[in-house]
Amino acid sequence: EAEVAQSPRYKITEKSQAVAFWCDPISGHATLYWYRQILGQGPELLVQFQDESVVDDSQLPKDRFSAERLKGVDSTLKIQPAELGDSAMYLCASSLRVRDTQYFGPGTRLTVL
């Protein structure tokens, strides 16, 4: 069964450093999502792509976060510089189209020291 791949699974960094997360969606899925899940809370959407275009980044802290999906397939989420409050699980999901079921990857757990 096809799955969403994410790497790394775990990342520990010091504040002010740069970090990057990678996501490879299920093949053929046009829509890709990045979520942040703070411990004890539900996931919150950071950015949504339709193919290579951003369709919603209203909750993305653009002063430090950036996301790209250059060829409309895999995607990278970057944080620079990382802050203590960025410690969270970063989840990637994909769906065939916007209204279809979202399938989640295993996530990247980020710890900022």
Partner 1 sequence: AQSVTQLGSHVSVSEGALVLLRCNYSSSVPPYLFWYVQYPNQGLQLLLKYTTGATLVKGINGFEAEFKKSETSFHLTKPSAHMSDAAEYFCAVSPGGNEKLTFGTGTRLTIIP
Binding site for partner 1 (CB under 8 A): 4, 6, 9, 40-45, 48, 56, 91, 93, 98-99, 101-107, 109
DSSP state of 86: G
**How many beta carbons lie within 10 A of that of residue 88, not counting itself?**
20
Peptide bond into 81 cis (omega under 30): yes
Q: How far is the CB of 109 from partner 1 (least distance, A)?
A: 7
Residue 75 or 107: the one with the smaller Cβ distance to partner 1 is: 107
Q: How far is the CB of 19 from partner 1 (least distance, A)?
A: 18
Q: How far is the CB of 95 from partner 1 (least distance, A)?
A: 10
Residue whose C-alpha is closest to residue 39's, from 109, 100, 95: 109
